[in-house]
Structure 1
Amino acid sequence: MSPLDFKKEEKRFYLPPAHPVLADVPEMNFFMVDGEGDPNEPEGAYQHAVELLYALSYAVRMGGKKRTFPVPGYREYVVPPLEGLWWGCEPEAPVSKKDFRWISMIRQPGFVTQETLAYAQKQVAMKKPHLDTEAGRLDSFREGLCVQCLHTGPYDDEPATLARMRSFMEQETLLPDMEGLRTHHEIYLSDPRKTPPERLKTILRIPVRRR
């Protein structure tokens, strides 16, 4: 059996077109880290969150693959891309990036449990003691109805793509529906350390409801 790869098996959520479309996103499980502050700050809270999420995710993947920890129902899989829920970054109400609030997260297969997370936290604490492993949590999130679009280019150029998404919403008589975790959502398909800014690919989502 080939490794589970959400990007291939659920293309409607991970490979949207470069024009706005509707998507109804079901409940998914994530490792999450809550934080605030400028995501571009070196050694800042966001960088810590990203490092922790990847460390936890790969600890689970390798632990299951090497059978060093019993994970019932384990299936080899590809670690999904980094995602982020953002507050305070709306174009109509811009604030300084240092005032951003966010949840950084990586999706987890359904067989990952709280016990699995506890195992991963112990493994990461031994290998990377500088990370606050208790900041990571496992939670589910049902995003529901959204408008999504693939943005290609620098993150700072996202407002142009968001404007096209809002025009689509007006044409389809849809309203923004920001409540709880339903907020501005980004999925990072490219590694900014290895990809030129003009080639970065990011999925943008806006939660909506019908009028």
Structure 2
Amino acid sequence: MKMRNFYALLLSILLVTILAVSCVKIPTEGQPLPNFTGTVRFINAASDVGETSVLFDGSSVGTLALGQAGSYSTVKAGTHSFKIPADQNTDTLFVDTDFVGTFFVVPVENAGDARFLKNREHWAYANKVVPDTMVHVCIAQMVPVDLKVGIDSGNATTYSFKDTKPELLLASESHTFYVISGDDTLATVTPSLTAGTSSTLLIYGTADDVKTQVFDNKL
């Protein structure tokens, strides 16, 4: 009798186990991958080309006049192709996860030189990129010669072609920037800056015709 009860109990446990397993929903797909992205815009500084459309992964993202910036867009992080129609070659550059910044279309001195230059403005996850009492300025020198940039009455810093350094934190909103070659001041700009914001000062054109443009950066 005891043995019969034991087998009955064992059978009951087995049936309950089978029923429990049959009710478990086994996923047929894995969890979705995280959405790794970056935020980019394009600025046309290619004085050897002028107005141009920009191809990103083979598709046009718009046409930019010389000295014009496009809007910021969210793209997948990873390797991408960059091209303008005037060139035979294609640049391949990497967009980092949480990257926020600009890809400059730059003049080239020799066929096959890189046409695009990547400049990070900040990381998307960074807290308080610019203090409320300061302004952040990126200087991008896209004239194919060495130039100096002075701020107010301070010493001028040399910027070579394709330089995007340094990233400056300035302690007030009113500043005058001077673009200098030798003893000559080629351009002067006093941009309208706002505390707690970030801007890019673009220097572009040719050695005989230096131009400047100021753009707001995304925070």
The two structures have a TM-score, normalised by structure 1, of 0.26
**Greater relative contact order: 1 or 2 (C-alpha under 8 angstroms, separation 6 or more)?**
1
Give the structure with the larger helix fraction: 1
Structure number with greater Rg is: 2
